[in-house]
Amino acid sequence: MEDFKSIISECIAGSQKAQAKLYHHFAPKMFGVCLRYAKDATEAEDNLQDGFIKVFANLKSFRQEGSFEGWIRRIMINGSLEKFRKLHLMYPVEDVEIYDSVNVSDDVIAKISADELVKLIQELPPRYRMVFNLYVIEGLSHQEIAKEMSITQGTSKSNLARAREIMKKKVHHIFGEINAQNNYMA
């Protein structure tokens, strides 16, 4: 943290050299975050670019006490949420439903690379992708997701269940092994 204090100060002062340094340090990880929330690499690049511009514009508001990386991460995720709200407000509401389920062995998932998993996530419908990321990766509750995305908790649960199923089917389709099961609930 101490290492970043001086860089942050220089960034606030407008030093492009310091901004470039900060960018180089965090950009790979943040691009990973953006890729998970975007439908493709182009959208992720846009989100990363907008996110870093906001980071530099709001560095003054960062109290140098907590996790700087966590702060930047929040900005990136909020940017993706904001874009989702703008573009997908008319997405139809769904209730909790029962889906035919497939069972994929954890061993199979463990063998899949992160790059391949990210591609599978990107192929999810926008709202499923958002809910999946927020619940599975970020650890938000359905109540919190509902509030952030202006949807009901039931819809969040439904979307998560559907997202999981799609993910499992894709994993099965690409990597084999299937055990049919029924009634998967969030």
Footprint on residues 68-107 left by another protein (CB under 8 A)? 70-71, 73-75, 77-79, 81-82, 85-86, 89, 103-104, 106
The H-or-E segment that residue 179 falls in is strand 179-181
The H-or-E segment that residue 169 falls in is helix 153-175
The H-or-E segment that residue 129 falls in is helix 126-132
CB of 27 to another protein, least distance (A): 5
CA dist 5 and 68 (Å) reads 10
Q: Select the residue interacting with another protein from 2, 92, 97, 110 (CB under 8 A).
A: 110
Q: Select the residue interacting with another protein from 4, 39, 112, 154 (CB under 8 A).
A: 112
Residue numbers 3-62 binding another protein by CB under 8 A: 14, 16, 19-20, 23-24, 27-29, 31-33, 35-36, 45, 48-54, 56-58, 61-62
Using CB under 8 A as the binding criterion, the count of chain residues that bind another protein stands at 71
Residue numbers 142-161 binding another protein by CB under 8 A: 144, 148, 150
Token digits for 90? 């008319």
- Residue 30: closest CA among 65, 62, 56: 56
CB of 61 to another protein, least distance (A): 6
The H-or-E segment that residue 78 falls in is helix 68-87
